[in-house]
Amino acid sequence: MSSWYMKPNSEADIVTSTRIRLARNIKGIPFPSGMTDEQKKELKEKIKAVITESNTPFSKKLKYIDMANVPEIEIKAMVERHTISPEFVINPQGKAIILSEDESISIMIGEEDHIRIQVILGGLCLEEAYDIASNIDDMLHSALHFAFDSNLGYLTECPTNLGTGLRASLMLHLPALEGSGEIRSLSDTVNKIGFTVRGIYGEGSKSLASLYQVSNQVTLGLSEKNAIENLKIIATQLIEKEKALRESFEKLKLEDTVYRALGTLKYSRVLSSNEMMNLISRIKLGISMGILSTDILPMKLFVENQPYMLMKKHGEISPQERDSYRASDIREAFN
C-alpha cells in the first residue's frame, strides 16, 4: 500500500503529497503507441532484467508486476491511490510495473513512454522525491540507452515532456482559496508562467474536497533543479495565501462546519464517494486549524474509501452496497 497518505506528516497540513515523474524512452525502439506485442514483451523483460541484475539493496526492495496478471479491481484501486496513472490502465496488455513495497516508487513500463519513473511521498518534499527518482534514473541509464538529443534533451512521445521529461506536482488542500473563489484567478496567473493548477478528484472545473494539483508545464530549456525550485515558490505563495485567508474564517461558523462533517461521518448509513471526500476535506481543515484533535489520518480514510479501494476490501459490490460499506467503514474508523 502506498505510504503517501499514511504518513502523519505535519507538512502534510496543506501540501498533501509530492509527486515526481520522469519520462524516458529507449533508443532505437518505437514509442509504445507504435510497438508490436513482441517489442512490448522485450521491453518489459529488458527493464525487469536491469532491476534484477543490479542486485543492490535498493533494487531488492522493488517488485516486478506484469499488469496482465493484475485483477481489474486492483488496477483501478492502484489508480485511486495514485500508484499508477489513469492512462496506464486503459489496456494492461504489454504493460508492467516495478513497485517498491510502500508504493512510493512505481516504474511504469509501456505507458505513453517506455518508462515512467514516479516517486510519490506524503507532504512537501520535492528534493527528496527528486533524489529518489534521479537515483532510479541513473540505475536504469547505466544499463539502457535512453533516447536523448544533445539540443532537446530526453525524447518523449508527447512534445510537452521533451527536455527533462520531468513533471513535478504538489497536491494542495485549498478550501479557503476555493471558498473565496480566489483559486480561479490564481490558476489563471499561475498558468501564464508555465504552471498548472487543476482540481483533482471530480469532473470538469469543480474540484472535490478542495484538493488541487500544482505542477510544472515547462520541460524544455529549464533544468530539473530550476523547475522544482520554481514550483516550490509558486506552492509557497499559494500556501501563504491559503493560510492568511483561513485566519479570516469566523471561528464559530468554521467549528460548526467541521463538527457537522464529523457528525455526518460518524452517523451516516449511506455515504457516496463525493460526499465522503467533501466531508473529509472539512475534517482535514479542522485538524489543520486546531479545531479537531484525532489520530485519524484524513487522506488515508479518503483514499481507502474510494470505490475500487472499497471493492478490493469487500469484494465485487454494487454502487449502492459500496455507499453503505463506505458509511460503515468510516463509522468504525471514527468510533
Task: Note whether 249 binds a copy of itself by CB under 8 A.
Answer: no
> 109 forms bridges with which residues in the sheet?
96, 115
| By the rule CB under 8 A, 97 interacts with a copy of itself | no
| Size of interface with a copy of itself, in residues (CB under 8 A) | 17
Q: Which residue has the cell 464529523?
A: 262
Is 268 a binding residue for a copy of itself by CB under 8 A? The answer is yes
| CB-side neighbour CA atoms (13 Å) of 115 | 32
Say how far apart CA 93 and CA 39 lie, in whole Å: 12
Does residue 260 interact with a copy of itself by CB under 8 A? yes
Out of 1, 141, 255, 333, which residue is the one contacting a copy of itself (CB under 8 A)? 255
Nearer to a copy of itself, 192 or 269 (CB): 269
**Choices 105-113, 162-170, 207-215, 247-255; region in contact with a copy of itself by CB under 8 A:** 247-255
C-beta of 110 vs 298, nearer to a copy of itself: 298
Is 266 one of the binding residues for a copy of itself (CB under 8 A)?
yes
Each residue 275-314 as x (binds a copy of itself by CB under 8 A) or -, in order, gives: ----------------------------------------
Query: Any contact of residue 259 with a copy of itself (CB under 8 A)?
Result: yes
- What is the signed CA dihedral for 317, 281, 123, 189, rounded to 10 degrees? 120
The residue (of 141 and 331) whose beta carbon lies closer to a copy of itself is 331
Considering only 205, 252, 318, 332, the residue that binds a copy of itself (CB under 8 A) is: 252
- Note the helical H segments in 147-304: 175-180, 182-192, 224-247, 251-267, 273-288, 298-304
Contact 162, 222 (CB under 8 A): no
Q: Which H helix or E strand runs over 326?
A: helix 319-334
Q: How far apart are CA 172 and CA 239, in angstroms?
A: 8
Q: How far apart (Å, rounded) are the C-alpha atoms in residues 277 and 120?
A: 20
Residues that bind a copy of itself (CB under 8 A): 252-253, 255-256, 259-260, 262-270, 324, 327
